[in-house]
Structure 1
Amino acid sequence: MANYLLEIGLEEMPAHLVSAASAQLEKRVADFLAEKRVKFDTIVKYATPRRLAVLVKGLSDASEAVDEEVKGPSEKIAKDADGNWSKAIQGFSRGQGVTPDDLVLKGDYYYANKHISGVPTSEILTAIGDDVIAKMQFSTYMKWANNSFLFVRPIQWLVSLLDDETVSFKLLDVTSNAITRGHRFLYDEPIVLKDALDYEAALNTAFVIADSAARKTLIETQIAEIASTNSWDIYLEPGLLEEVNNLVEYPTAFVGDFEAKYLDVPEEVLVTSMREHQRYFEVRDLSGNLQNHFISVRNGNAEHIENVAKGNQKVLVARLEDAEFFWREDQKLKISDLVEKLKKVTFHEKIGSVYEHMGRVKIIAKKLRDHAMLPLAFDDKLDRAADIYKFDLLTGMVGEFDELQGIMGEKYALLAGEDAAVATSIREHYMPTSADGDLPETEIGAVLAVADKLDTILSFFTVGLIPSGSNDPYALRRATAGILRIIDNQKWAISLETIINELYSLRLNGFKYDRRDDVISFINGRVAKMLSGIARRDIIDAVLATESLDVARLTENAQALDHKTDEADFKTSVENLSRVFNLASKLDAAPVIDETQFENAYEKVLFDANQALVLTDNVVENVEKLFDLSTPISNFFDNTMVMTDNSVIKYNRLSLLSDIASKASKIADFTLINTK
């Protein structure tokens, strides 16, 4: 068993691409070896800003030999009229490396029994450059020199080492060898690897910790020691820690300071300056109070660390000076003046201004309030929030720190004397800011968030800016998912489709929505994704066909039906209800049931059972009641000809089935549920 090292040396990659690129390389190497039938035990991956590597352990010396049976031409075309082998059979035989006489007839077809010998692993690995590295995909590419080849960053060196032997391949003008490189600034000498297993240890001596997990643990340990020494509480936000880890090859954590006067600026601004702009960790005391210190991580050792700290302090203070200035100046502005200026701020050139967007959102918010039957007590607050909630876009602070949209709006609104609920909704209307981000806690914030996102979706669809494939530049999928999560979290029993239909009948501030069907289909797709972990896909499709877009009810319907799938009566009940749906669709007039037209007792029994069926808010009970109809439905079909030649009797029977289908369709379209 052998060990194989593959390393791709690069110019520094963006930190957010490192982890994904490392995982991709690991998978592509594993798939490549599996495809070539080369067995191995494990793959260890390594990644730093300037290298991606894998160490394949327990690699077999050669690919596995296999015997294959390949299907060839049929017996009908295998020979010509004179009994000679046809050109088709001769061509197939040549392609398989056998003669026609070697073929075996099985049934109506000829087969070739083919032995494929193993190939030395060292020979197979020569293709890893073209078959693995060159096929890697990234969200960001670079092209360098006169090459047409694209990669995440220019390739500087390649290591390809099978135990102690170089496996040579070439990409552009770079040929693989056994020479890697250490830290860019701390180790100038080339590192000649004698064996694949020497990789990690050799790099450690050259100030490179290639193991991402080990490097992250070292950062955590260093910062924990600083926190313990100073009695500080330092939160290592996971996303920031991952990013910092992917910025360094040899981490050294250190402390920086800034003047205490900057603590008068809202801490959200300070934290944003440190985290988002400088990649620093903020420092708090053990009571949770923000301190005038920060933690950063150097890509290097502790030599001259004091100078590094001073340099970082200067950069941060420059940001804080700006923040302090904007904080002071913004407080001189009037909300009414900023809202007026929003008339000249473009929401989108094809749609109109932010001010016009807010006007539409105000109308949508009122509709949401009515449909959700929320208390009228907060009408004035909701109206006020809708009138001003985007004003902070024109503040200096948000202009400098766009991550603080809404957050600064809440703070400035409170300083201006706005109601606390109004101020909170200004912050909450951006929620959720990510797939699993926090949701609005207040009803006003939830209504404003949904209304804002809904107008964004409807207006962008109207002008044809519709997501396609993976392309979604305006984050409309995220906005839709946010709407659904908020509605579900608030337990609003509302039909989005009904609200959307009402909006499409209006002209809002001169703007009329279009492409309704596209919008409904788009939202249905997001609902289906939301329900994907709750029920089978066919059940999800069936409940979505109810055309209500009541998120809470759709969820309950899907759960209730999915829980029934393992029960003995599920198949029969669904098939009977499905038959009801199919026949009911043949009714071409309004249903009217006349009991005097019943010709047998089974019609009357089904009619009485249907009359007794009253759907309530209890979805589980509703499904049980529908499934209880299965026996009278089955007896009815066994003893009754629905599509009789007597048009009056046929109409009456179809009316009865239509009434049942009408009730059942509030749960699902049972014809879409798979019972096989």
Structure 2
Amino acid sequence: MANYLLEIGLEEMPAHLVSAASQQLVTRVADFLTENRVTFESVTKFSTPRRLAVLVNGLADASASIDEEVKGPSAKIAKDTEGNWSKAIQGFSRGQGVTPDDLVLKGDYYYANKHITGIATADILTKIGSDVISKMNFSTYMKWANNNFLFVRPIQWLVSLLDTDLVPFDLLDVTASNVTHGHRFLFDDTIVLANASDYEASLKQAFVVADADARKATIQAQIAAIAKANSWEIYLEPSLLEEVNNLVEYPTAFVGDFDAKYLEVPEEVLVTSMREHQRYFEVRDLTGNLQPHFISVRNGNAEHIENVAKGNQKVLVARLEDAEFFWREDQKLKIADLVEKLKKVTFHEKIGSVHAHMGRVKLIAEKLRQQANLPADYDVKLDRAADIYKFDLLTGMVGEFDELQGVMGEKYALLAGEDAAVAASIREHYLPTSADGALPQTEIGAVLAIADKLDTILAFFTVGLIPSGSNDPYALRRATAGILRIIEDQDWAIELDALITELYTLDLNGFSYDRKDEVMTFINGRVAKMLEGTARYDIIEAVLATGSLDVAALRAAAQAIDAKTSDADFKTSVENLARVFNLASKLEIVPAIDENLFENASEKALFTTNQALTLTDDSSQNISNLFALSAPISDFFDNTMVMIDNQALKNNRLSLLAAIANKAGKIADFTLINTK
């Protein structure tokens, strides 16, 4: 058993790409070895901004030998009319390295039995450049020199070492060797690796902590020591910690300071400046109050750390000076003036201004309030919120710190004397900002968030700016998922399909929506995605076929049907209802049911049972009641011929079935449920 080291030396990668690239390399190497039948015990990953590496542990000396049976041409075309082997069989045999006489006839086909001898692992690993590295995928690529090869960043060196032996391969003009490099500034010499297993220890001596987890633990320990020494509370926000970890090879945490006067600026501004712009961790006292200090991590040792801290302080203070200026100047602005100026701010060149967008949102918000059965006195607050909620886009603070859209709007609105619920909705209408992000906590904020997102979706579809494949530049998928999550979180029984249908009949201040069918298909796809895991796929498809976009009701119906799949009568019940659906579809115009045309007791019994069945908000009970129709449906079909020549009797029986299908169809399309 051997160990194999592969290292890709690079120019500095963007920090947000390092972790994913490292995991991708592990996966690709493991898959490459598995596909080539080379066994191994484990793969250890290493990564820094300048390198991606794996150490494959317990690697077999050679790939496994196998016996393989390969299916060939059919017996019908194996020989010509004279009994000679055909060209098809001869070509197949050559391809498999055997003669036609070696083939074995099994049933109607000839098979080749092959013994494939294992190959030395060292020989297989020579393909790792072309089969692994060159096939890696990234969200950001670079092209360099005079070649067409694309990679996340230019490749500077390659290491390929099987225990003590070099495994040669070339990628572009770089030849793999046993030579790696230490820290860019702290170690001048190259490192010649005698053994693959020496990699981590050798780099550590050259001021590189190659194990990302170990490096992160070092950062955490250093910051914890600083916090303890100063009686501070320092929150290591996970995504920021991950990013900082991927910015350094040899971490040293240090403290920086700023003037306490800047604490008069809203905390969100200070935290945003430190986290988002400088990659610093904010400092709080033990009661949670923000302090005029920050923690940063240097890519290097502690030598001259005081100068490093001073340099970082100057950069941060420059930002805080701007923030303080904007905070002071923005308070002189009037909301009404900013809203008026939004008439000249483009929402999208094909759609119109932000002000016009707000006007449509105001109308949608009122429709939503009614559907959500919220109090009528919400109208005043909702109208005010919709009238002003984008005003902060024109403030200096948001112009400088666009991450604070909505956040500053809430603060400035409160300072201007706006109602607290109106101010909160200005911040909340942006929520959620990610797939699992926080949702609005106020009802007015929730309504405004849905209305804003809904107009965005409908307007962009109207002008043909529709997501395709993975391309979604206006984040319409995220907006749709946000709408659905908010509705479900608020426990609102909103029939989104009915609301959208109504919106398509309106002239919204000179703007009319278009492409309704495409919108409904798009939203249905998002609902299906949201319901994944709730029930079997076919059951989800069946409840979606009702056309309803009441997410809570769809989820409950899918779960109720799925819960019945193990019942003894599930197959029969679903198939009976499906048969009802199929026959009912043959009636284009449904006449009223005439009880006088019933000829047998089974017709009367089915009619009476269906008449007594009432759908409620209890999905489980609804399914139980529908399945209870199975016995009278079976009895009906056993004793009644539906498709007969007598037109009046046939239509009356189809109308009876249509009445059942209409009721059951509000729960699911039972023809789509698989019972096999």
TM-score bin (small chain): over 0.9
Contact 1:361 1:448 in 2 (8 A): yes
Residue number in structure 1 paired with 2:272: 272
TM-score by length of 2: 0.99
Alignment of 1:403-414 (within 5 A): 403-414=403-414
Alignment of 1:380-395 (within 5 A): 380-395=380-395
Give CA deviations for 1:234-264 in whole Å, capped at 9, x if unaligned.
0000010000000011111100000000000
Q: Letter of the 2:160 partner, please give it.
A: S
**Pairwise CA distance, 1:642:** 1.1
Secondary structure, in 3 states, of the residue corresponding to 1:147?
coil
| Percent of pairs with identical residues | 79
Residue number in structure 1 paired with 2:29: 29
Aligned-partner Cα distance in 2 for 1:625–1:87: 65
Correspondence 1:209 to 2:200: no
- Aligned residue pair count: 676
Residue number in structure 2 paired with 1:485: 485
**Pairwise CA distance, 1:379:** 0.8
Contact 1:262 1:324 in 2 (8 A): yes
Residue number in structure 2 paired with 1:46: 46
Aligned-partner Cα distance in 2 for 1:136–1:130: 10
Aligned-partner Cα distance in 1 for 2:527–2:77: 53
**Pairwise CA distance, 1:372:** 1.2
Residue number in structure 1 paired with 2:617: 617
Alignment of 1:617-656 (within 5 A): 617-656=617-656
Alignment of 1:124-135 (within 5 A): 124-135=124-135
**Pairwise CA distance, 1:565:** 1.4
Residue number in structure 2 paired with 1:8: 8
Q: Letter of the 2:473 partner, please give it.
A: P
Secondary structure, in 3 states, of the residue corresponding to 2:210?
coil
Give CA deviations for 1:132-188 in whole Å, capped at 9, x if unaligned.
000101000001111211100000000000010010000111000001111111111
Aligned-partner Cα distance in 1 for 2:126–2:144: 24
Aligned-partner Cα distance in 2 for 1:30–1:612: 62
Contact 1:143 1:154 in 2 (8 A): yes
Give CA deviations for 1:70-118 in whole Å, capped at 9, x if unaligned.
1112212212222221222111111111111111111111111111111
Correspondence 1:607 to 2:596: no
Aligned-partner Cα distance in 2 for 1:106–1:188: 67
TM-score by length of 1: 0.99
Correspondence 1:585 to 2:585: yes
Secondary structure, in 3 states, of the residue corresponding to 2:151?
coil
Residue number in structure 2 paired with 1:123: 123
Structure 2 spans left out of the alignment, 5+ residues: none
Correspondence 1:175 to 2:181: no
**Pairwise CA distance, 1:382:** 0.4
The answer to which of 409-418 and 85-94 deviates more is: 85-94
Aligned-partner Cα distance in 1 for 2:88–2:418: 85
Alignment of 1:321-340 (within 5 A): 321-340=321-340
Contact 2:590 2:658 in 1 (8 A): no
Aligned-partner Cα distance in 1 for 2:592–2:209: 79
**Pairwise CA distance, 1:47:** 0.7
Q: Letter of the 1:422 partner, please give it.
A: V
Aligned-partner Cα distance in 1 for 2:117–2:385: 74
Correspondence 1:161 to 2:153: no
Aligned-partner Cα distance in 2 for 1:175–1:637: 77
Aligned-partner Cα distance in 2 for 1:148–1:590: 66
Aligned-partner Cα distance in 1 for 2:122–2:54: 16
Contact 1:591 1:656 in 2 (8 A): no
Contact 1:591 1:659 in 2 (8 A): no
Secondary structure, in 3 states, of the residue corresponding to 1:376?
coil
Secondary structure, in 3 states, of the residue corresponding to 2:296?
strand
Residue number in structure 2 paired with 1:104: 104
Residue number in structure 1 paired with 2:83: 83
**Pairwise CA distance, 1:320:** 0.1
Residue number in structure 1 paired with 2:499: 499
Q: Letter of the 2:288 partner, please give it.
A: G
Residue number in structure 2 paired with 1:255: 255
Aligned-partner Cα distance in 1 for 2:410–2:230: 34
Aligned-partner Cα distance in 2 for 1:273–1:22: 29
Q: 1:342 to 1:639 in 2, by over 3 A?
A: same
Residue number in structure 2 paired with 1:148: 148
Give CA deviations for 1:382-417 in whole Å, capped at 9, x if unaligned.
000000000000000000000000000000000001
Aligned-partner Cα distance in 2 for 1:326–1:289: 23
Residue number in structure 1 paired with 2:63: 63
Secondary structure, in 3 states, of the residue corresponding to 2:412?
helix
Residue number in structure 2 paired with 1:305: 305
**Pairwise CA distance, 1:422:** 0.5
Aligned-partner Cα distance in 2 for 1:270–1:309: 18
Alignment of 1:322-361 (within 5 A): 322-361=322-361
Contact 2:65 2:118 in 1 (8 A): yes
Residue number in structure 1 paired with 2:555: 555
Q: Letter of the 2:183 partner, please give it.
A: H
Aligned-partner Cα distance in 2 for 1:266–1:302: 33
Q: Letter of the 1:227 partner, please give it.
A: A
Contact 1:182 1:190 in 2 (8 A): yes
Q: Letter of the 2:481 partner, please give it.
A: A
**Pairwise CA distance, 1:591:** 3.5
Give CA deviations for 1:249-299 in whole Å, capped at 9, x if unaligned.
111110000000000000000000000000000000010000000000001
Aligned-partner Cα distance in 2 for 1:133–1:336: 57
Residue number in structure 2 paired with 1:379: 379
Aligned-partner Cα distance in 1 for 2:157–2:52: 11
**Pairwise CA distance, 1:581:** 0.6
Aligned-partner Cα distance in 1 for 2:73–2:475: 52
Residue number in structure 1 paired with 2:191: 191
Residue number in structure 2 paired with 1:225: 225
Alignment of 1:228-243 (within 5 A): 228-243=228-243
Q: Letter of the 1:405 partner, please give it.
A: Q
Residue number in structure 1 paired with 2:442: 442
Secondary structure, in 3 states, of the residue corresponding to 2:253?
strand
Contact 1:274 1:316 in 2 (8 A): yes
Residue number in structure 2 paired with 1:596: 596
The answer to which of 245-254 and 598-607 deviates more is: 598-607
Q: Letter of the 1:643 partner, please give it.
A: M
Moved over 6 A (4+): none
Aligned-partner Cα distance in 1 for 2:403–2:637: 64
Contact 1:591 1:658 in 2 (8 A): no
Correspondence 1:285 to 2:285: yes
Aligned-partner Cα distance in 2 for 1:591–1:262: 77
Aligned-partner Cα distance in 1 for 2:559–2:107: 48
Residue number in structure 1 paired with 2:17: 17
Contact 1:255 1:294 in 2 (8 A): yes
Structure 1 spans left out of the alignment, 5+ residues: none
Q: Letter of the 1:589 partner, please give it.
A: I
Contact 2:39 2:63 in 1 (8 A): yes
The answer to which of 82-91 and 273-282 deviates more is: 82-91
Give CA deviations for 1:468-506 in whole Å, capped at 9, x if unaligned.
111000000000000000000111111111111111111
Q: Letter of the 1:174 partner, please give it.
A: V
Secondary structure, in 3 states, of the residue corresponding to 1:622?
helix
Q: Letter of the 1:359 partner, please give it.
A: G
The answer to which of 77-86 and 214-223 deviates more is: 77-86
Correspondence 1:530 to 2:530: yes
**Pairwise CA distance, 1:567:** 1.6
Secondary structure, in 3 states, of the residue corresponding to 2:377?
helix
Q: Letter of the 1:367 partner, please give it.
A: K
The answer to which of 602-611 and 471-480 deviates more is: 602-611
Aligned-partner Cα distance in 1 for 2:402–2:474: 16
Secondary structure, in 3 states, of the residue corresponding to 2:119?
coil
Q: CA RMSD in A?
A: 0.8
Q: Letter of the 1:176 partner, please give it.
A: A
**Pairwise CA distance, 1:618:** 1.2
**Pairwise CA distance, 1:604:** 1.2
Correspondence 1:460 to 2:460: yes
Aligned-partner Cα distance in 1 for 2:662–2:272: 55
**Pairwise CA distance, 1:590:** 2.1
**Pairwise CA distance, 1:533:** 2.0
